Amino acid sequence: MSIETTPNASNSEHGFELKKRRRWPWIVGAAIVSVGIVAAVGIPMLNPAQSAADIAGATLTVATAEGNASEQALINFIAEKVAPKYGIRVAFTGLSDSNTINRAVSEGEVAGTIYQHKLWLSQVLEANPDFRETAATPVFCWGFGLWSDKWKDVKDIPDGATISLYSDPANEAQGLWVLERAGLITFKPGIVKAKATQADIATNPKRIRFTLLDFGAQSRALPDLDAAVGYTEYYLAAKIPLEKQIFAPQAPDEFAGQLTIGTKFAETANIKKLVAVFRDPAVQQFLATDSSVKGILLPLQEK
């Protein structure tokens, strides 16, 4: 087996980025350290008064990254069509970066966020031990697949091909999972696929070489690569047609975007209702049918 890794060559961002939230998701390394430093300096309170989680009738704000149209569309739908059935009011807000979002959730300045999956949240909490957050329920999966400007089918990818993965551990793991599902690599027995690294690869029969790029850089570099594993959102934003996505298996819930709440507010009546709202079947129906999120936010797998 031959595995080669090329250092990250770009500074663009995605919604799972600790350095700064994009535009979107949603890298680790020095970025995690910087998050802790920023947190120590302090972020101004969005609302220094009592948390809306504790106030009957208060509007419960759900935050995600500024400019994330698909996640905003989902939250707005929930606010208009689902939340009233549960007797609560929900509103969207966009915040500038992941550190701001997570601190706001932890402190109860906002009621929750939907921008991260469990592995990313665990990395946030490890880097920021003063944050207290809980992944309350999975909501959706991001569109994520194998893209190529040169090949139309996985079987056409040649020996010695160069394939890009994202340069943070959370998204690198999902990229490796896609390649394993595509039959391009196999994993060692017993590994946790949601936390897989290149060290967990058992076989690499085509001697694929891996290059690590961040979110915006990967889509720009596609003509120079044999393939890349990345988020549908970024490729569509870069005007790359969906036909260039040659393999896109439904992601397991380990990679699902979670409704993340402040742990100390989990038992309040408002937050219990908020969790029930996001679990309502109408949410999955919206994800399956609405054009505003098509191909970008996907419904969860049926159990």
CB within 8 Å of 77: residues ≥ 6 apart: 283, 286, 290
Q: Count CB atoms within 10 A of the CB of residue 50.
A: 10
| Among candidate residues 4, 14, 63, 34, the one with its CA nearest the CA of residue 174 | 14
Residue 280 CA to residue 276 CA, distance in Å, equals 6
Residue 83 CA to residue 127 CA, distance in Å, equals 33
For the chain, domains (ranges, CATH) are 5-11+144-247 (3.40.190.10), 43-141+253-298 (3.40.190.10)
* 126, 29 Cβ separation under 8 angstroms: no
Report the pLDDT value the prediction gives residue 196, as an integer from 0 to 100: 92
Residue 13 CA to residue 216 CA, distance in Å, equals 6
Kindly report the pTM of this predicted structure: 0.78
Residue 242 CA to residue 232 CA, distance in Å, equals 8
Give per-residue pLDDT as tens, 31-80: 333 344 333 333 344 544 689 999 999 999 999 988 889 999 999 999 99
* 2, 207 Cβ separation under 8 angstroms: yes
Q: Which tokens go with 138? A: 């999975």
CB within 8 Å of 161: residues ≥ 6 apart: 206, 208, 209, 226, 227
Tens digit of each residue's pLDDT, the chain (303 residues): 333 344 333 333 344 443 333 344 433 333 333 344 333 333 344 544 689 999 999 999 999 988 889 999 999 999 999 999 999 999 999 998 888 999 999 999 999 999 999 888 988 999 999 999 999 999 999 999 999 999 999 999 999 999 999 998 889 999 999 999 999 999 999 999 888 999 999 999 999 999 999 988 999 999 999 999 999 988 998 999 999 999 999 888 788 999 999 999 999 999 999 999 999 999 999 999 999 998 899 999 875
